Structure 1
Amino acid sequence: MKITFLGTGVAIPQKGRVQSGLLMEMGKKKVLFDCGGGVLNRIFESGNSHTDIDTIVLSHLHLDHVADVMCLLKANWLCDKFDSTIYGPSGTREWLDRLMDLYPYMKEKVSVDVVEVVPGEEFRLFDGCDVKCAAGIHSVPSLAYQVRYDGKTVVYSGDTEPCDDIMAMAQGCDMLIHECSFPLDFEMTNHTTPDMLRPYIKDTGIGAVYLTHLYPHMQGHEEEALEYLKEEFEGEVHIPSDLMIVEI
């Protein structure tokens, strides 16, 4: 599996980090997890072609995770690629239908199969790739995803506080990509801080944790967060930058 961190930031602009997006390459298949503002350009900058992407998996429908979905669909259409599949939580179909109603010319040009999934559901993205989802703790319905391919397991948290259901899914995984929006001792709900996350990753057998979805408040506190987590976590801990590539 090859993971490209396309966007590691949030809705507030900051240098070097666009909104949420993550590309997983499994064999010849490229699957996009979330597609916030700036992600379409990051796909280009990463050396990938947007026309190779026909599957998008959404954690939730907040703008910083979906703003470039329509942009990607239009870019594909302009390059003669018309079919796509979008997986997402309850409400995804209505959200996309309403957007398409605003752009009737898009509705006539593209064909999008929307698959709504619920916490605890398991489904197959393609032959050899199985996915399971769990509910996060956020201000709107949000899903985390466990992706299994070729003997490897990656868990992507979406936006959430640390919680038992997601961590049960992450036990023993090769990579946990977990949001860490704010620094230590920051009073917060619906998102994660290092002190909220540390007790959940201890003694889990997770190979590596990658912290993403960083607010500007985290600037200057990155090393502090890493060192704090490493005190009680036996695996690797990293804070990726946009366009960072990891192979497992």
Structure 2
Amino acid sequence: MDMKITFLGTGVAIPQKDRVQSGVLIEYGENKVLFDCGGGILNRIFESGVLHTEIDTIVLSHLHLDHVADVMCLLKANWLCEKLDAVIYGPVGTQEWLGRLMAIYPYMKVKVNVEVREVVAGEEFELSQGCNVRCTDGIHSVPSLGYRVEHDGEVVVYSGDTEPCDSIMKLAQGADMLIHECSFPLDFPMTNHATPDMLRPYLENSDISKVYLTHLYPHMQGHEKETLEYIKEKYEGEVHIASDLMTVEL
């Protein structure tokens, strides 16, 4: 096994049964990297059997609350268990966002040591043990990044929140897995998010092996089967609806 992907949270800002907010854990070797950390993710980490103190690297797609609400909760939980260091990657504005939060909770600022590294589209950075990450812009209401994670020949791409777009699909060329948001069902008028009919044309001639759909609004309930059938009509790879605590090994 090279990579293990755990969907910690596959929901959105509106509460719904069995789906908390956004968060994906990618493990390779002994390393654990958290992509987004919305509300409910800290408990999902516990439920997954992973120790939260093993997570000291967080990569944020954007700064909407349903993607960052549990960041401070995770930092505090780690501090209470004597894990003080962390690195947070995110778009421009991440440093200011975290600084304002620390100003509200000054006792946290003196307890933890958090390094923020802001990244921009086209930038590449290396995590531990030869894991390379490249990012690109999505199309959303605020700056949002998608990430391509490569380790030992395996490739996972996480779209963040976005309309389907050329930049994310270019990033996903040849990927073993694309984790792409699919917020709303077929024929739902939408911008800044994806629907099956918006996404399918980008998948038709792609060389992506597997697609996992996440970031599902309550509006998607009852439409899961038709979503899969619609995409499979034109896409030759595997397509799945992600659920909280689902794990996939590459």
TM-score normalised by L of structure 1: 0.99
What is the number of equivalent residue pairs in this alignment? 248
**Cα distance in 1 for residues equivalent to 2:125 and 2:206:** 24
Q: In the alignment, what sits opposite 2:190? A: 188
Q: 121-130 or 67-76, which moves further after superposition?
A: 121-130
Q: In the alignment, what sits opposite 1:94? A: 96
Q: In the alignment, what sits opposite 1:242? A: 244
Q: In the alignment, what sits opposite 1:17? A: 19
Structure 2 counterpart of 1:38, from 19, 29, 40: 40
Structure 1 counterpart of 2:166, from 154, 164, 167: 164
Give how far 1:126 is off: 1.7
**Cα distance in 2 for residues equivalent to 1:128 and 1:121:** 16
Give how far 1:71 is off: 0.1
Give how far 1:190 is off: 0.1
- Helix, strand or coil: the match of 1:127? helix
Q: Residues 2-22 of structure 1: CA distance to partner in whole angstroms, max 9, x if unpaired?
A: 000000000000000000000
**Cα distance in 1 for residues equivalent to 2:159 and 2:114:** 25
- Helix, strand or coil: the match of 1:10? coil
Amino acid at match of 2:5: I
Structure 1 counterpart of 2:217, from 215, 218, 224: 215
Runs of 4 or more above 3 Å deviation: none
- Helix, strand or coil: the match of 1:85? strand
Q: In the alignment, what sits opposite 1:105? A: 107
- Helix, strand or coil: the match of 1:120? coil
**Cα distance in 2 for residues equivalent to 1:150 and 1:121:** 20
Amino acid at match of 1:35: C
**Cα distance in 1 for residues equivalent to 2:160 and 2:177:** 14
Q: Residues 166-191 of structure 1: CA distance to partner in whole angstroms, max 9, x if unpaired?
A: 10011110000000000000000000
Q: In the alignment, what sits opposite 2:71? A: 69
Amino acid at match of 2:192: N
**Cα distance in 1 for residues equivalent to 2:114 and 2:40:** 21
**Cα distance in 1 for residues equivalent to 2:242 and 2:197:** 19
**Cα distance in 2 for residues equivalent to 1:167 and 1:3:** 20
Q: Residues 53-80 of structure 1: CA distance to partner in whole angstroms, max 9, x if unpaired?
A: 0000000000000000000000000000
- Helix, strand or coil: the match of 1:185? coil
List gaps (5 residues or longer) in structure 1: none
Q: In the alignment, what sits opposite 2:229? A: 227
RMSD: 0.4
Amino acid at match of 2:156: V
**Cα distance in 1 for residues equivalent to 2:240 and 2:145:** 22
Q: Residues 78-110 of structure 1: CA distance to partner in whole angstroms, max 9, x if unpaired?
A: 000000000000000000000000000000100
Amino acid at match of 2:209: G
Amino acid at match of 2:135: C
Structure 2 counterpart of 1:149, from 129, 151, 154: 151
Give how far 1:127 is off: 2.6
Give how far 1:240 is off: 1.3
- Helix, strand or coil: the match of 2:164? coil
**Cα distance in 1 for residues equivalent to 2:246 and 2:106:** 37
**Cα distance in 2 for residues equivalent to 1:24 and 1:163:** 24
**Cα distance in 1 for residues equivalent to 2:117 and 2:28:** 20
**Cα distance in 1 for residues equivalent to 2:109 and 2:127:** 24
